[in-house]
Structure 1
Amino acid sequence: MLNNLPPLAPFRPRLLQDLRGYNGEKLARDVGAGATVGIVALPLAMAFAIASGLKPEAGLWTAIIAGFLISALGGTSVQIGGPAGAFIVIVYGIVERYGVANLMIATASAGVLLFLLGLFRLGTLVRYVPVSVVIGFTNGIAVLIALSQVRDWLGLDIAQMPGDFFSQIGTIASHIGSFNPYAFGLGALCVLGLFVWPRLWAVDSQFRRQLDQIDTVSALKATSRLPAPVVALVTLSLAAWALSLPVETIGTRFGGIPQGVPAFELPDFTWATVKQLVTPTLTIAVLGAIESLLCARVADQLSDTPKHDPNQELMAQGVANFVVPFFGGMPATGTIARTVTNIRSGGASPVAGIVHAATLGAVVLLAAPLAQHIPLAVLAGVLLFVAWNMGEWREFGRLKHFSNHYRLMMVSTFLVTIVFDLTVAVELGLVLACVLFVRRQSDIFRAEPLAQTGQQLTYRLYGSLFFGAAAKIDPIVAAVQQSPTAVNVVLEATHLISLDTTGLDALEQLHKAIDKRGGHLRMVGLNEQPRSLMQRSGFAAKLHDGE
C-alpha cells in the first residue's frame, strides 16, 4: 500500500538552479534591486509589527531572517518574503487573546504545517480556493488594517485597542476627544505624498518633462529613484523632530529599537498549549500558503524567470516561519508589493532577496537609534496607503457583471472577515463555494425525453449524475409507476459525463421500478467512467442485453 503513495517533493531551492551560469551582470542587477527592496521594507516591516501589537524590531528581524530563508530556500526566483499586511489582523487577535509567547508557538507550529504541505505535494491545493473568496477576505483585511491605524493617525489617547471590529469603532468614538491635529496632519501628508511621489516622477508627467529639459538638476532627478515610503518617513520624521511636534514616536512608545542581533529564545512549550492553539496555527498556515502562492503567481506574470515551484515555496515558508519565532519574529509570507518592486528594479534571482535581507540588517545594526524619532502617525499613513493598494475595490463595482453565486461568496466572505475573523470567513467561503458548485452542476444535469410510446420511454442524459442531481431521475421512476402496462426504458448516455454512487443508486431504484412492472432498462452509448462504475458494482449485468 505504501508503494502506491505519491513520492515526496524533493527539497530543491530555486537558488541552486539560478546560480548556474550566474555572472557579474546578473549580480549587479540583483544587488541594485535587493538594496532598493531593503530600503522599501524598512518602514513597512516596522509598521506591520506595530500594527500587529508587537515591537517594531519584531517586524524588522522577521524581514531579515525570514526574507533571507525564503529567498535562499524558496521555489521562485524573484519573490521577496517577510511580514505582510495580511497578517496584521490575525497576529493582533492572537496576541490579544493568547499573548506574545503563544503567538511564537503558533507561528512555529504553522511553519511545520507549511513544510509538510509542501513536502507532500499539496501546494496546488491552494489554487482550489475560489478567486471570489480570495478577493473577499483580502478586501476585508484591508478594511481592518485601515481601521487599526485610526488611533495613531488621529493621535488618540488609547492605551490598547481591542481586536473586535465593533469594539474598535466604539473605542475610537469614545476617545475622539483626544484628537491630535499634529498627528493627523503628519498622517495625511504621508498618505498624500505616497500617492503623489510616483506620479510626480512618472515618465509622462508634466513635472518630469520640464526637468528633462534642464541639465543642472541631475541630483534632483536622482531622487526619483528613492521609494516613496522612505521619502515620507525621512522627511516627515525630520519635520516632526525639528518642529518638536507633540506626537507619539517609536521612542516614546517602545523606547527605540535595540541595536544588535536578537537573542535566541525558546518559548515555553507544552502539548497542552499547542492543542489550544490549533485554530491560530491553521489560520497562520492557510493565510501564509495563500498569500505566498498568490504572490508567486503574480511574480510569474511579471517576470521572465521560470515558473515557481509551489511545493518548494511552501517548504521554504515553513522553514522561515519555524525559525523566526525563536528570534522574536512574527509570521512571514511572500509580499506582493516588495516582490513587484524587486522585479521592476531588475531582480532576476534569489540573490536579490538575500541582498534585501542583508541591506535591511545593515540599516538596523547601524542606524537603529535614529528610528526612535519616527512618528507613529507617519507609519499609520504608510499602512493606510498599503491597505488602499491591498484592496481590490473595483471588484465591488464589477459585481453586477457576475452571477449571484459569485456575489454571494465574495460579499459574505468580505463581511464575515470584518465582523468575525479570517478563519471563519475562509471556511464560510469554501463551504459556500462547494454548495454553490453542487447546485450549479445539478442544474446542468438533465434527463431529456426523446420518444414515448405505450411500451417504451426513451430519455437522453446530459451532464453528471451525482448526489446533487440524483433526484432528477425521480420523474422517470414516477412515469414508470404511473404506466398502466409494463414499460421499457432506454437511457441514451452518450452525453453522460460521470456517475457517482448516489447517481448509481438512483439508477438502481429506476431499474427496480421497471422490473417490478415487468419491463426492462437499457443504457446505450455509455462513456468509460459510468460504464466502469456499473461493471464494478454489478449493475451492468442487470441491464437488458448486457448494456
Structure 2
Amino acid sequence: MTQAAFGPKLATVLREGYTAKTFRADTIAGLTVAIVALPLAMALGIASGASPDKGLITAVVAGFLISALGGSRVQVGGPTGAFVVVIFNVIAKHGYDGLLIATLLAGLILILAGVFRLGQIIKYIPHPVVTGFTAGIAVIIASSQVKDFLGLSVDKVPADFIPKWQAYLGAIPTISAATVAVGIGALAIIIALRKLAPKLPGFLIAVLVTSTAVALLKLPVDTIGSRFPDIPAGLPMPSLPEISLAKINAVLPSAFTIAFLAGIEALLSAVVADGMAGTRHRSNQELIGQGVANLGSALFGGLPATGAIARTATNIRSGAKTPVAGIMHAVFLLLFILFATDLMAFVPMATLAAILFMVAWGMSEYERFLALLRMPNSDRSVLLLTFGLTVLVDLTVAIGVGVTLASLLFMARMAETVEVDASGKQDPDLDSEDLDQRLALPEGVEVFRINGPFFFGVAGELLDTLRRLGAAPRAIILRMRLVPLLDASGVQALEEFIRQARIAGAKVILSGVQPQPRSMLERVRLGDGFGKVFYAADYADAQSLASSLLDEKSMPDRDGEEDE
C-alpha cells in the first residue's frame, strides 16, 4: 500500500501541523453542520422505517469515523436519502437485525473495495444511470412522506409505489387541516430562508418554529413523541446482532446494494468537495473509511452511512479546513443525544415530512435531468429506464439494467464510428499530426491531446495531470480532432474539467472539435457562443488564440493544493 493511495487525511493534517486558528475554524464549521444535520438525521431515521434516534446515532458514530479515517479533508458523513428505500425494504423483509447484518457486510465489502483499489471504478458509471436512479430515489422519498404531511389515516402504507398512491387516494377524506398547515408552514419557512437568508439553518429554524407553535396552540398533530414515546437518551453499548449463515445469505444482495450506494455517493461527494475546496481526496482510503464507519454504525445499532454531499458543501462554505470539522460535527450531535433528547418529542411529523420533501427536491437534480432529456435517444432511454425501474421495480434492478443498457449502447455507437476505407489512400491530416505538440507552445499554456472517445473516466486523468503540474496554467488547449464520439457521460466529464480549470484561473480552448462532439456540447450550453470555452479550427489556430488570450489583461493564478 502506497501513501498516495492510502492513509487517512486526518493523519496527513496532523503531520503538517495543526494550529489553534485552524481548530477554531473547524469547530465553527462543525457546529454549523451539526445544526443542519440534527433535524435531517431524525427525519431520515424515521423515513427509513426506523426511529429518529437511529438516525442520530448514525450521524454521530459514522460521522466521526468517516472524518477520522476517510480519504477526504472536508467530507462529512452520516445517513443520507439514497439509503431510505433500501433500508425500509430490508427492515420490512428481514427485521432490524437483518439491516444490522446487511450494514456489517456492506462495511466489509467497502473495506475490501478500498484495499483492492476499486475507488476509481466510480468514474465508469454512466452519468444517465446515476441521475436516473438518484431522481427515482427522490420520487420515492417524497412519496413516502405524503401520509405524514397530510395527516392521512392509513393503518399500513404499502411499500410499492402504485399501491402506496392508491392507499393515499383512498384516504383523502381523512386529511388533517392542522397537519397540512404545519407542513406548509415548515415548507414556507425553509424555502423563504433559502432565498432570503441562505446562511441560516432553515431546517432547524422550521423545526423550532413549528414545534413551538404546536405546543403553544395545542394543535392536534402527530409528533415524534406521540409516534415514538420511548426514545432512549445517549448512545447504546456496542453489540453484535445474532448472525447466522441463513441470515447472511438472505441479506447479502441488500448488503451489496448498500455498499454500492455508499461507495458511489461517498466518492461523488468527495469529488464535489475537491472542486469546492481545491483539495484532492484518496478514493481508496475513502472507501476504507466508509467501510469502517458502517461497521461502527451497525455495532451501535445505527443505519448505513456514506458521505453526504449537502452537509459536505455546508462544511466547506462554513470554513472547514480539515477532517476535524467533521469530527466536531459528530461531537456536537453527541452532546444533543446526551442532554437534549427529550426535546425531540415536540417535533411535528409534518415538519420532518417537509424537510424530506426538500431533501428529495435536492436529490432530484431536475436541471441535470432535463439536460439529459435533450441528449440523443440512447442516453435519454438509459435515463428514463433507470428512473422508471427505480420507482416502480427495484433499485438494484434499475442499476443493473441501466449500466448494462448503457454499455451495450456505447458499444453500438463505437461500432458506428469505425470507418473502413477501401480506397487505399492515407489520411493526410493524420500524416501531418505533429509528433511534438509542445513545440512553439506559448509560456503559461498547457496542452492535452485526447485520442478516441471521450468518456467519464478521462476527466479524472486530465485533472490528475493538471494537479501534478504544480502552478495552474493560464490557458489549456484540449486537442479533440481525434475524438469521434462524445456521449452524456463524456459531456458531464468535460463540464467538470472546464469548471475545475476556470476555478484555477485557466481558460480552456477546444481544438478541432468534430461535429458530433460539438453538437453535444451545444446542448449543455458549452457551445461557441456561450462564453464558457473557446473553439479553434485546428492546433495552429489554438496556439494563436492562446497567445492572444495571454496578451489580454492578466488572469489570476491559483495554486492547487499539493496533496498526497
Measured against the shorter chain, the TM-score band is 0.7 to 0.9
The 1-side partners of 2:212 and 2:417 are apart by 65
- TM-score, structure 2 normalization: 0.74
Report the RMSD for the aligned CA atoms in angstroms: 2.0
User: Contact between 2:104 and 2:294, CA under 8 Å: does it hold in 1?
Assistant: yes
Match of 2:176 among 180, 204, 229: 180
Distance 1:160 1:309 in 2: 44
Letter in 1 for 2:418: F
Tell me what 1:262 maps to.
236
Deviations 1:253-297 (A, max 9, x none): 111531122132321101121112121011100001000000001
Alignment length, in residue pairs?
431
CA displacement 1:427-478 (0-9 Å, x = unmatched) = 0111011101110111111222206xxxxxx999x999xxxxxxxxxxxxxx
1:473-488 superposed matches below 5 A:
none
Cα deviation digits, residues 289-340 of structure 1 (max 9, x gap): 0000000011011113x30100000000000111211211000000011111
Higher Cα Rg: structure 1 or 2?
A: 1
What corresponds to 1:64 in structure 2?
A: 60
Matched, 1:238 2:212: yes
Q: Which residue pairs with 2:10 in the alignment?
A: 15
Please tell me whether the aligned partners of residues 9 and 119 of structure 1 are also in contact (alpha carbons under 8 angstroms). Answer: no
Is the partner of 2:257 in helix, strand or coil? Answer: helix
* Equivalent residue number for residue 533 of structure 1: none
Aligned partner of 1:100 among 77, 83, 96: 96
Partner residue of 2:51? 55
Structure 1 contact 114–289 (Cα < 8 Å) conserved: yes
Pick from 419, 430, 454 the counterpart of residue 446 of structure 1: 419
Indicate which of 271, 274, 277 corresponds to 2:248: 274
Matched, 1:162 2:158: yes
Q: TM-score, normalized by length of structure 1?
A: 0.76
Partner of 1:85: 81
Aligned counterparts, 1:512-523, within 5 A: none
Q: More displaced, 442-451 or 150-159?
A: 442-451
- Measured against aligned partners, the alpha-carbon deviations of 1:216-258 in whole angstroms (never above 9, x if no partner) come to xxxxxxxxx5411110000100000111111111111111531
For 1:394-409, what aligned pairs fall within 5 Å after superposition? 394-399=367-372, 401-409=374-382
- Residue of structure 1 in register with 2:403 after alignment: 430
Q: Which residue of 2 aligns with 1:510?
A: none
Q: Report the CA distance between 1:21 and its aligned residue.
A: 2.0
Q: Which residue of 1 aligns with 2:444?
A: none
Q: 2:34 aligns with which of 20, 34, 38?
A: 38
Partner letter of residue 160 of structure 1? K
> What secondary structure sits across from 1:277 in the alignment?
helix
Which of 11, 19, 27 is the aligned partner of 2:23?
27
What residue is the counterpart of 2:503 in the other structure? none
Equivalent pairs: percent with the same residue? 44
Match of residue 263, structure 2, among 280, 285, 289 = 289
The answer for the alignment partner of 2:466 in structure 1 is none
Conservation of the 8 A alpha-carbon contact between 1:250 and 1:256:
no
Instruction: Say if 1:226 and 1:258 are closer, same or farther in 2 by CA, change over 3 A.
Output: farther
Q: Is the 8 A contact 1:110 1:284 kept in 2?
A: yes
Tell me by how many angstroms 1:165 deviates: 0.8
Q: Supply the AA of the counterpart residue of 2:95.
A: G
Distance of aligned partners of 1:358 and 1:281 in 2 relative to their CA distance in 1, 3 Å threshold: same
Q: Which ranges in structure 1 are unaligned for 5 or more consecutive residues?
A: 1-5, 203-224, 452-457, 465-494, 498-547
Which residue type is aligned with residue 91 of structure 1? I
Aligned with 1:311 (options 284, 287, 304): 284
User: Which residue in the other structure is 1:384 paired with?
Assistant: 357
Go from structure 1 to structure 2 and tell me whether the alpha carbon gap of 1:367 and 1:173 turns closer, same or farther (over 3 Å shift). same
1:252 aligned residue: 226
- Kept in 2, the 8 Å contact 1:413–1:426? The answer is yes
1:447 touches 1:459 (CA, 8 Å); kept in 2? no
Find the aligned partners of 1:339 and 1:154 in 2 and give their Cα distance.
Answer: 31
4+ runs deviating over 3 angstroms: 6-11
Q: Tell me the SS of whatever aligns to 2:365.
A: coil
Q: Secondary structure at the match of 1:378?
A: helix
Alpha-carbon deviation of 1:127? 1.3
Give 2:69's match in structure 1, choosing from 70, 73, 90. 73
Q: Secondary structure at the match of 1:267?
A: coil
